[in-house]
Amino acid sequence: MSNNKAIVLSGVDGSGKTTQTRLLRFYVEKVKGRKAKVTWIKGNHTIAYVLYKIIPSKHVVLFDNNVHTHVLFRSKLYKIWIIIEVLGIIPKILFDIKIPLLRKKTVIADRYLLDSIVYLITSVDDFNIVKFLPIQFLLSLMARTSKTIVLDIDLKELFERKPSFRKYRHLVSFKIALYRALAKVLGLNVVRANDEPLIVFKRILDIIRL
C-alpha cells in the first residue's frame, strides 16, 4: 500500500465502517508499529453546517434522525448548495488527509468523498449530478488521495443490524444501489460485509496489503 494515500472505508450506515476502522487502527499501530490517524468526512459536517444554523429553514430528515438536508437542496438553488458543500470539504481534506500523510502517518478514513457524493445525490435525488463539475472535482480528489474500499451489505443483514432502518426501506435500498453503481463505474474495491467482523477485516487486509 502506497504511503501517499489514505485507506478509506465507505458504505451505508450499518455496513461496519467504524468497526473495521478500529480494527485497522489497532493493526497499524500495534502490529505494524506505525502512527495512524483516524478521520471521517461526509457531506454536511463542514462549513455548510454553519449555514444550516444561519439560514432560517427546516431540515429534511432523511432517516434515523442522523442525516439532515437543508431544504435548499430541494429548491432551484441546489447547485449553489452543492458548491458550498464541496468548498467546505476541501479544508478537511487538507488538514485531515494531506498533512498527516506528509507526516508519514497512515490515515484511515471512516467515510470520505464517495460517501459525500452519495449524500449529495440522495439529497438532491438526482444521479445526474455526478456530471456536475464540483462532483467531478470530488471524484478526482478521491482518486488522488485515497484507496477506497466499499463495504457492501445486503438489505436483510442491514435490517438485522439496524432495525430502525426498516421503515426507510426505499431510501436505504437506493443508497446501497448507489454505492454499488459508483463502485462499479469507478473501479473501486468492494468487500462483502455480511460476515463476522474479523472475516471482513481479513478481506480488507488482502486488498490494502499493509
More confident residue, 146 or 56: 146
Reported as a single tens digit per residue, the pLDDT across 78-136 is 888 788 888 888 888 999 999 999 999 999 999 999 999 998 888 777 889 999 999 99
Tell me whether residue 1 is in a domain.
Answer: no
For residues 108 and 90, give the distance between their C-alpha atoms in angstroms, rounded to a whole number: 17
Tell me whether residue 64 is in a domain.
Answer: yes
- Residue 170: how many other CB atoms lie within 10 Å: 9
Q: Is it the case that residue 41 has pLDDT exceeding 70?
A: yes
* Residues above pLDDT 90, as percent of the chain: 64
**Strand (E) or helix (H) holding 107:** strand 106-110
For residues 130 and 113, give the distance between their C-alpha atoms in angstroms, rounded to a whole number: 12
Q: Which residues pair with 106 in a beta bridge?
A: 36
Lowest mean pLDDT among 56-60, 93-97, 114-118, 143-147: 56-60
Of the candidates 64, 27, 58, the residue with the CA atom closest to the CA atom of residue 172: 64
Pinpoint the alpha helices (H) of the chain.
17-26, 48-54, 78-93, 99-102, 113-124, 133-145, 155-161, 169-186, 197-208
Residue 64: give the domain boundaries.
Answer: 6-208
> Do residues 182 and 136 make contact, with C-beta atoms less than 8 angstroms apart?
no
Tell me whether residue 153 is in a domain.
Answer: yes
Lowest mean pLDDT among 29-43, 69-83, 84-98, 150-164: 69-83
Tell me whether residue 65 is in a domain.
Answer: yes
Q: Is it the case that residue 172 has pLDDT exceeding 70?
A: yes
Tell me whether residue 11 is in a domain.
Answer: yes
**Cβ burial 134-162 (10 Å sphere, 16+ → b, else e):** bbeebbebbeebbbbbbbbbeeebbbeeb
pLDDT of residue 56: 54
Of the candidates 139, 67, 38, the residue with the CA atom closest to the CA atom of residue 59: 67
Q: Is it the case that residue 168 has pLDDT exceeding 80?
A: yes
* CATH (domain of 68): 3.40.50.300
Total tally of structural domains belonging to the chain: 1
Q: Is it the case that residue 199 has pLDDT exceeding 70?
A: yes
> Do residues 181 and 114 make contact, with C-beta atoms less than 8 angstroms apart?
no
Tell me whether residue 41 is in a domain.
Answer: yes
Q: How confident is the model at residue 69 (pLDDT cuts 50, 70, 90)?
A: low
Which of 58-62, 88-92, 161-165, 167-171 is modeled with the greatest confidence? Answer: 161-165
Which residues are CB-neighbours of 16 under 8 A, at least 6 positions away?
Answer: 151, 153, 193, 197, 200
Tell me whether residue 133 is in a domain.
Answer: yes
Tell me whether residue 85 is in a domain.
Answer: yes
Lowest mean pLDDT among 17-21, 25-29, 42-46: 42-46
pLDDT of residue 63: 44
